[in-house]
Amino acid sequence: MKVLFVATECTPFIKTGGLADVIGALPKELKKEGVDVRVVLPKYDAINTSFQEEMNLVYTGTAPVGWRNQYVGVEMLVKDEITFYFIDNEYYFKRVGLYGFYDDAERFAYFNRAILEMLPQIDFQPDIIHCHDWQAALIPLFLKTHYCENLFYQEVKTMFTIHNLMYQGIFPKEVLSELLSLGDEHFEGVEFDGCVNFLKSALVHADLLTTVSETYAREIQNPYYGEKLDGLLRNRCNDLHGIVNGLDYKEYDPMNDPNLSFPYRSARGKKQKNKLELQRQLGLPEREDVPMLAIVTRLVEQKGLDLITHFLDELVQEDVQVIILGTGDDVYEQFFHQAALRYPEKVSTHITFNEGFARRIYAASDLFLMPSRFEPCGIGQLIALRYASVPIVRETGGLVDTVTPFNKETLQGNGFSFTSYNAHDFLFTIRLALTIYQDATLWSALMKNMTKSDNSWNRSARQYVDLYHSIAGGL
């Protein structure tokens, strides 16, 4: 079984969000299952120089973008026994940042065409091209139009994974002819409010669809979560599968994390030492007994931050410390910055993102807040469980599939959750968690349950392999 992953970010090369963690971890697990999986990415200028120096040029050619033929360089690097290809074109990718440019439609139309022009030339014929998010969504459409008579691609199947339905790649109708070189007869398959929708093109043309949790796969088939594509997703419900993301347990391991002053597996005493160390670094009162609440996230509305803004003043009347790390919308950045000024002994805000600092927060904190309005899968709660920071989540998407509410009668469950998107319910759940925290017996049972949580990629990788076989003719 040969599979090509097509994505626009991947750890350790380039990352803006959880997609990079998936693309960095899942291929390694698939390889263990006997899959020859390779990954293709844009060669961004921001990729670390040390990686760029290891790359070898394996192909040069061109790819059509509208009426022009644009240069395609393909460089290769093998890391952790996985082969990575990088599409090199400085005009499109030698920039500061990955997304949000005026010509993103052209950049990623080029990226998709470049890959299909590349493959016959590099001695790798995939059985399946597995495309991730809207930036890689045109490949199924191109295969059924521009490459439908190309013998190299006759048996190639496509899978498309939705990592977040909110981001779709919507551009003016002129893109269809001017960049994709397709006539009006193809407009229906990509049309969205009179525009061209890259993600919709994959939902229509890919052989199989997946998303990153079972609950999210169901949620996006109803209007509240469906981002105006729920009807199409309902029509393809038999081809839509939810597979929850895993966590790279080797990469995220508090026992071997170089960012931590006190490595630990499950010992609460070592975790408390990390708390004291972080309190010292941040200038907070150094107390082992105070519950530390962590918020590590993009500061955007999707993450449920408006719920927190409603009651933070009330929450800090409790005996707690709150640590915030992230960047995003100015309204939230300013709110949390001001909260830290008002409550310097209770709130510590950091409008930045630093992976090492994030790990230290996970390791030091007792509770991890993740009240998302929607969450396709989420990685924060998975890291929190791994680092023994009890997650408090809203019951949506992958949060439902990975966090089970703790029951003090049965002593089952690995976190806390609330159902309604409501600030009062969220604050009530936090207070419940704080009550459990004060009961050493109950808290010990909860901590033990967290250490038993298995959110590694093993099971999910096997589910992907089963789907690959289902569309590749039993290879």
For the segment 319-335, the average pLDDT, to the nearest whole number, is 97
In a domain, 335, yes or no: yes
Query: Model confidence at 458, in pLDDT bands (50, 70, 90)?
Result: very high
Q: Is the dihedral of CA 253, 259, 264, 267 positive or negative?
A: negative
Q: How many CB atoms lie within 10 A of CB 338?
A: 12
Q: For residue 475, what pLDDT is reported? A: 53
In a domain, 8, yes or no: yes
Stated pTM of the model? 0.94
Residue 14 shares a structural domain with residue 43: yes
Residue 467 shares a structural domain with residue 442: no
Residues forming beta bridges with residue 65, ordered by sequence position: 68
**402-457, pLDDT tens digit by residue?**
999 999 999 999 999 999 999 999 999 999 999 999 999 999 999 999 999 999 99
* Count of structural domains within the chain: 2
Q: For residue 146, what pLDDT is reported? A: 97
Average pLDDT along the chain: 96
| pLDDT of 55 over the 60 cut | yes
Residue 199 shares a structural domain with residue 81: yes
**103-130, pLDDT tens digit by residue?**
999 999 999 999 999 999 998 999 999 9
In a domain, 251, yes or no: no
Cβ neighbors of 347 (< 8 A, separation 6 or more) are 312, 316, 321, 322, 324, 336, 339, 340
Residue 150 shares a structural domain with residue 297: no
In a domain, 48, yes or no: yes
Strands (E), 80-122: 82-88
Dihedral (Cα; 46, 7, 387, 166), 10-degree rounding: 100
Q: For residue 406, what pLDDT is reported? A: 98
| 303-307, 321-325, 368-372, 450-454: the lowest-pLDDT one | 450-454
| pLDDT of 309 over the 70 cut | yes
Annotated binding site for ADP-alpha-D-glucose, which residues? 15
Residue 196 shares a structural domain with residue 54: yes
For the segment 53-57, the average pLDDT, to the nearest whole number, is 97
In a domain, 440, yes or no: yes
Tokens coding 62:
């061109």
Residue 277 shares a structural domain with residue 215: no
Residue 23 shares a structural domain with residue 111: yes
Q: What is the CATH number of the domain that holds 312?
A: 3.40.50.2000
Residue 141 shares a structural domain with residue 286: no
In a domain, 277, yes or no: yes
How many Å separate Cα 129 from the centre of its chain?
19
For the segment 123-147, the average pLDDT, to the nearest whole number, is 97
Q: Could you give the CA distance from residue 165 to residue 435 in angstroms, rounded to a whole number?
A: 37
Annotated binding site, which residues? 15
Residue 217 shares a structural domain with residue 357: no
Residue 62 shares a structural domain with residue 148: yes
Residue 136 shares a structural domain with residue 223: yes
Residue 407 shares a structural domain with residue 463: no
What is the residue range of 131's domain? 2-246+458-471
In a domain, 260, yes or no: no
In a domain, 253, yes or no: no
